[in-house]
Amino acid sequence: MKTDSYHQPVMEKEVIEWVGEARRVVDATLGFGGHTQALLEIGCEVLGVDMDEETLKLTEESIASAKLGDQFRAVNGNFAVLDEIVQKVGFEEVDAILFDLGINSFQLDRSNRGISFKALDEDLDMRLNKSMSVKASDLLAALDKSNLTRLFGEVLAKGLANQLATAIFERKQSQKFVKVGDLVAICNQTFGHWSTKLLPKVFLALRMAVNGEMENLEEGLPKAFGILRKGGRLLVITFHSTEDRVVKQYFAGIVSEGKAINLTGVGLKPTTQEVEANSRSRSARLRVIEKK
């Protein structure tokens, strides 16, 4: 499978600019390797890490076919244990680390994992790593109304989260949530004409919960900062307020402790030209700190 159409890297020029003189870089969210390929082309040595084994294999093949594999290594793993990964493969004294927290287009549109609310006939799975045991359907079946409210409250107003949690809890007493269409139907029933705007948030919240995305981020950021050399840079691209809040708070804390310098203030946004060319970049924000 060709990966060309799936790895439009967001804010590529800005990433290259802020990586600066770095030569040893960790791409903690490799995906289809758009950023990694750009980094390899300017002479960086890159360690790519990704939870999704299927995506990882495709990216390795793509980079090898581009004859850029000599300076590239890939590891199937979770950035929550990034310190253990770099130690295990001997990739230490790191100059820069990149987190691109957006889900790639292949996973969203064609992975057959029920991540997109448009894929009505797909199983409600959402696991980015198939070795994980709990699917989205399992999570909906297991959680009580209070925990469902808490889950959807990560992205919805409290009242809306409670409405949806109540509707899901009542429906699952007689009918399981198995397909994407099952969850879409209850959202349409609950939110009416507002459902179109709220569905992306509902599916985002469930995907984050299934994959432990916020917990991984909270663990991964300190691990990443810890393996940077002095003067090394940590770059994070976020796409929604929940993950951006985690990054913003961590960066603010590490800067206030005098351990890092904030290089990008409130963060950088993509150019108008990039948003026009790639609509999925619209909500992106790049934050960069430098280790003292």
At residue 21, does pLDDT exceed 80? yes
Q: Do 156 and 184 fall within a single domain?
A: yes
pLDDT band with cut points at 50, 70 and 90 for residue 113: confident
CATH code, domain with 158 = 1.10.150.170
Q: Is 34 annotated as a binding residue?
A: yes
Q: Is 100 annotated as a binding residue?
A: yes
Q: How many domains does the chain have?
A: 2
The residue among 32 and 184 whose pLDDT is bigger is 184
pLDDT in tens, 42-61: 999 999 999 988 889 989 99
Residues 6 or more apart in contact with residue 120 via CB below 8 angstroms: 179, 180, 181, 184
Q: Do 279 and 184 fall within a single domain?
A: no
pLDDT in tens, 248-262: 999 999 999 999 999
Q: Is 192 annotated as a binding residue?
A: no
Q: Do 28 and 148 fall within a single domain?
A: no
pLDDT band with cut points at 50, 70 and 90 for residue 17: very high
Q: Is 189 annotated as a binding residue?
A: no
- Rounded to whole angstroms, the Cα distance separating 34 from 105 reads 12
- Rounded to whole angstroms, the Cα distance separating 82 from 73 reads 14
CATH code, domain with 95 = 3.40.50.150
Q: Do 93 and 218 fall within a single domain?
A: yes
- Rounded to whole angstroms, the Cα distance separating 154 from 266 reads 22
pTM beyond cutoff 0.85: yes
Q: Do 154 and 273 fall within a single domain?
A: no
pLDDT at 55: 86
Angle at which helices 195-211 and 145-152 cross, to 10° = 110
Strand order in the sheet with 94-100: 72-76, 45-50, 24-27, 94-100, 228-238, 285-291, 260-262
Q: Is 244 annotated as a binding residue?
A: no
Using CA atoms in the order 153, 156, 160, 166, what is the torsion angle rounded to 10 degrees? -40
- Calculate ∠ Cα 281-17-63, nearest 5°: 70
Average pLDDT of every residue of the chain: 93
